[in-house]
Amino acid sequence: MSSAPPPFQLVPGAVGSPVLLHVPHSARTVPEHVRHGIVLDDEALEAELDHITDSHTADLAARASEACGVTPWRFVNGLSRLVVDPERFPDDREEMLAAGMGAVYTRTTHRERLRPPGADAEPLLDRYFHPYARAMTAAVDDRLTATGRAVVIDVHSYPATALPYELHGAGPRPPVCLGTDGFHTPPGLLARAEAAFSGFGGTGLNSPFSGTYVPLKHYGTDRRVTALMIEIRRDLYMTEPGGPAGPGLEALVSALATLVDGLMDA
């Protein structure tokens, strides 16, 4: 009997592209066996998915990839971050544990209970988090082997108004927030992103969300892996919370494609 396909997808790009668009929070799917461990009723769960999902970011990354002169690679999560959040540290290093939102969330965006007290996170980490991390590591290694470098671009969105779970929600909420890492985000990468997204009313740095995703194998040790997080304020392109995309999405597709194309010469 064949095994089930993984709940994430690596979409191949051009052999010579070092760019990997990472889309971790775009999906709303919660498998039934995971749903049983969530205490929200169906209406409350749908409302939570509206708030927590980076809606339309998978479409944004896919359309931008099609518009690029050299197609980047894409790694897309097919499950909601309410299953596991692949971008969190799976241990005490994760600051979002303070809000009940480590790798396996126990609280909602409004700090209400999501899972029962004492719920065991290990089965979800073993089934979903660790395989995802291994696959992302392999995808980055593949780009390093093929091109000698890897550029991870995290594609996210965030609400126009801060939600209660945000630890740094009192700071600026620019149209486009660029999350950086002191080791993995070189000035040239940041400058290209600032230029590409300059037409949306301004970019900001590391507020309200900071940092970017790099596999732990490479984190803080391999400068061939560069990375940047792009957090797009949702009122630029969609009806909040969880509503349809609007005309602003097209301009964001063009901006992301411009950034990716520029990275081929970086």
Residues in Cβ contact with 5 at an 8 Å cutoff, skipping those fewer than 6 apart: none
Burial of 194 (0-12, 13-18, 19+ CB in 10 A): middle
The pLDDT value given to residue 3:
64
Q: Report the alpha-carbon distance of residue 204 to residue 186 in Å, rounded.
A: 16
Say whether pLDDT at 2 is over 70.
Answer: no
What tokens does 251 get? 């301009």
Condensed to tens digits (0 to 9), the pLDDT of residues 130-169 reads 999 999 999 999 999 999 999 999 999 999 999 999 999 9
> How far is the C-alpha of 31 from the C-alpha of 76, rounded, in Å?
17
Residue 1 has pLDDT above 70, yes or no: no
pLDDT at position 4, please? Answer: 74
Percent of the chain with pLDDT over 70: 99
Percent of the chain exceeding pLDDT 90 equals 96
Residue 32 is predicted with a pLDDT of 97
pLDDT (tens digit per residue) in 193-235: 999 999 999 999 999 999 999 999 999 999 999 999 999 999 9
DSSP lists the bridge partners of residue 161 as none
**248 has pLDDT over 90:** yes
Please give the average per-residue pLDDT across 50-57, as a whole number: 98
Gap between the Cα atoms of 241 and 159, Å rounded? 8
Sign of CA dihedral 179, 182, 188, 191: positive
Q: Indicate whether 266 pLDDT > 90.
A: no
